[in-house]
Amino acid sequence: MKPEYSEKLKLLPPYLFIEIDRRKKAAIERGADIISFGVGDPDMPTPRHIVEAGKLSIENPKNHQYPFGSGLMTFREAVSRWYRSRFGVNLNPANQVHSLIGSKEGIGHIHLAFVNPGDVVLIPEPGYPVYNTGALFAGGEPYFMPLVEKNGFLPDFSVIPDAIFQKAKLMFLNYPNNPTAAVADKAFYASAIEIAKKYSIIIAADAAYSEIFYDDPPISFLEVEGAMEVGVEFHSLSKTYNMTGWRLGFAAGNADIIKGLASVKDNYDSGVFQAIQEAGVCALSSSQKCVDDARKIYCRRRDALVSGLIKLGWTLNSPVATFYVWAKVPPRYKSGEAVAKLLDEAAIVATPGNGLGPSGEGYVRFALTVPEPRIKEALERMSKIKW
């Protein structure tokens, strides 16, 4: 018997990064020496002190049962202390912080708590695909907010019809931004909060890249007056501490919104493995030198790739945050064509901008998750491509 997929599943576009991984593996099977700037998966190992804390916690029998609920109080307290130290934001660990199996899981599930069929979800594009897929699974109607260079890659709220705001239940924001590497200031967040209050819209701020920066530290959405009344912020330990495989993140902010997300999670999962949470406590509570060291490595990689691409005639701005370089493709090429040429002629994997949204057409995203010598090798290969 061939099963019939649900109508919601049929609505979903192919998950971009799975397709990129498939193409990369196919090239490797053909014998290509692939240099992959595709998926944003840090290539550096999890810092040793965090790994050791995780090892000790795994051996503790008290961590071998269902974790359940909002997470260990010690983890939520560590999150609260980190927020106070990093952003000057005070959180009640009892009801304003919830552990997540990676921020992706929380971002995907929050729709189910607040979006009814026909409700609008405001989604930045180009952007993280889960904002859209979560809306589709909940029966919501995605409304895409284009991120374009002339607006500093910030959504232009003035062009969104009032009728759309009237139907909207949820608005996603993502700064520092994936893929454009843009950052947001307090004035932008204040305007978003004003709209959220006017139309009773929940703001879900994705701050996964808040600790990957090269100049001034990016602010938190929750720093801005009124934010706690209308929204939550999602964080991930994946990028900050090179813990992508550990699957640990958290949501922080409005207690009632956290409660709604918690209710969904109670019915979908049994919580985050406690040993991983204890490793997270170590990460958040220990010296942050490891984070600073990683930033310095990404900065050197950024400088090598940006300067090299500019010498080759590519047009781009040097990112001030994230580990992504958002570059315009050579003239007369579309995003998909440029990415295919990089793969076929130089064994280089990159992400087509239009795969992250129609406003990404004409761009390619390079992830700085490649050692510096390989970046230089990639640039050498690219110098031989005739565009």
Task: Sketch the domain layout of the chain as residue ranges.
Answer: 7-45+289-382, 48-285
- Token pair of 227, please? 């934010």
What is the rounded CA–CA span in Å between residue 309 and residue 348?
A: 14
CATH architecture assigned to 48-285: 3-Layer(aba) Sandwich (3.40)
Phi, psi of 230 (to 5 degrees): -125, -5
Q: What is the pLDDT of residue 8?
A: 85
Grouping H, G, I as helix, E, B as strand and the rest as coil, residue 100 is strand
User: In sequence order, what are the residues at sequence separation of 6 or more whose Cβ sits closer than 8 angstroms to the Cβ of residue 342?
Assistant: 348, 349, 350, 364, 382, 385
Q: What is the pLDDT of residue 298?
A: 98
Q: What pTM was computed for the model?
A: 0.95
User: In sequence order, what are the residues at sequence separation of 6 or more whose Cβ sits closer than 8 angstroms to the Cβ of residue 292?
Assistant: none
What is the rounded CA–CA span in Å between residue 333 and residue 341?
A: 10
What is the rounded CA–CA span in Å between residue 29 and residue 75?
A: 43
CB-based contact 14:21 (threshold 8 Å): no
Q: What is the pLDDT of residue 17?
A: 65
Q: Report residue 163 CA to chain centroid gap.
A: 29
Nearest to 250 by CA among 102, 375, 118: 102
3-state helix, strand, coil in the chain (%, to 5): 50, 15, 35
What is the rounded CA–CA span in Å between residue 349 and residue 340?
A: 8
Grouping H, G, I as helix, E, B as strand and the rest as coil, residue 98 is strand
Give mean pLDDT in consecutive 10-residue pieces for the chain, a chain of 387 residues. 87 70 78 90 96 97 94 98 98 98 97 97 97 96 97 98 98 98 98 98 98 97 98 97 97 98 95 97 98 98 98 96 97 92 93 94 97 98 95
- DSSP secondary structure of 23-50: HHHHHHHTT---EE--S----SPPPHHH
Task: Kindly indicate whether the domain formed by 7-45+289-382 is annotated with CATH number 3.40.50.620.
Answer: no
Q: What is the pLDDT of residue 30?
A: 81
What is the rounded CA–CA span in Å between residue 7 and residue 100?
A: 28
Domains 7-45+289-382 and 48-285 equal at CATH topology level:
no
In one-letter notation, the amino acid at residue 280 is G
